[in-house]
Each structure stands twice: as C-alpha cells, then as structure tokens.
Amino acid sequence: MRAVLSIGSNMDDRYALLKTVLDEFSSEIVAQSSIYATPPWGVTDQDEFLNAVIVVDVNSTPLELLRRGQKLEEAAERVRVRKWGPRTLDVDIVQVRADDEEILSDDPELTLPHPWAWQRAFVLIPWLEVEPDAILHGTTVAEHVDNLDPTDIEGVTKIQEF
C-alpha cells in the first residue's frame, strides 16, 4: 500500500518534530519533499508552519497507518484545543493507493482521500514536488494547484531540503 502523508508543525522545535516522522517511516519512504514555510490555514492568529509531504510504501491497513501517525502526534504532546489551531505535530493521511487504485473511505475516523487536501497549497505544492503526475479525485495535483487562489500559492515557500 502506498500512502501520501502531509506533515506539519508550528510549535516548539518544528524541524525536530518533523524529523520524528521521517525516523518512524525511514525504511518505508519512497519520496520526501523539501520543507516549506507556510502561513497558518483556517485560524490565522498563530505562527507559520513548516510542512512537507512524504510518500511511503507500508504493509499495513489505512487505520493502522493512522494509528502510527497518532502515536507520533501523542509523543509530540499534541493538544487539540481548537480546530486548525497551533500544533506541535500534525500527521495527515492525504491519499492511500493499493495496486495503483485510490482507496476511498467515508469512515468518520479516517476519510480517504483527505477531504480538504485538494484545497490546500501547503499539501499540494510539496506533493507536486515529489509526485508530479499524482492524481487526486480524478484530477492531477498540478491542476488542483492551478485552481488555487494565487495568494495561497505565494505563501508556500520552499526553505530547505529535508
């Protein structure tokens, strides 16, 4: 199973927190984007984020993958005070594919593909870097990027290789 994970942090040692995800998936990473500085999305009165995307090949179910991400968030002492608020670490499953077919799920615990990924420059731009031909909801990621508000795109700045 191949999965696209979007990771982000805007609290504490953001680089170190993102690195915990790389360490967890080190033997399963197929591709990893650069690190991008991005403005907060949804709730704007908070520090900027560092975001990246990793593509992994895992031998687990989507829910098992979700649990791995949640364990990393818990280890980072993630607290969910308000929706889209500041966070030490966010590990989102954007998409899961098996045999090149997108896995769909409307399970309340894990909706696949991620319901808002197609609207978020901080997900799409790093993903486009590592999978230029990726398709989400039957549309290329590049086309989704083209449909974003230009100011959203301008706010996503590549700052360094991972």
Q: 58-107, pLDDT tens digit by residue?
A: 999 999 999 999 999 999 987 766 666 678 999 999 999 999 899 999 99
- In angstroms, the CA 57 to CA 61 distance is 11
Do 155 and 147 meet the contact criterion of CB atoms below 8 Å apart?
A: no
For residue 34, the enclosing domain spans 2-160
If 0-12 CB within 10 Å is exposed, 13-18 middle and 19+ buried, where does residue 104 land? exposed
Q: What is the CATH number of the domain that holds 22?
A: 3.30.70.560
**Which H or E run includes 107?**
strand 105-107
Q: What is the pLDDT of residues 100-156, one digit of tens each?
A: 899 999 999 999 999 999 999 999 999 999 999 999 999 999 999 999 999 999 999
Of the candidates 63, 10, 22, which has an alpha carbon nearest to the alpha carbon of residue 161?
A: 22
Q: What is the pLDDT of residues 34-66, one digit of tens each?
A: 999 999 877 777 889 999 999 999 999 999 999
Q: Torsions phi, psi of 147, nearest 5?
A: -90, -5
- In angstroms, the CA 70 to CA 73 distance is 5
Which two three-digit tokens encode residue 25?
């998936």
State how many domains the chain has.
1
CA 135 to chain centre: 15
- In angstroms, the CA 135 to CA 7 distance is 19
Residue 12 has pLDDT above 70, yes or no: yes
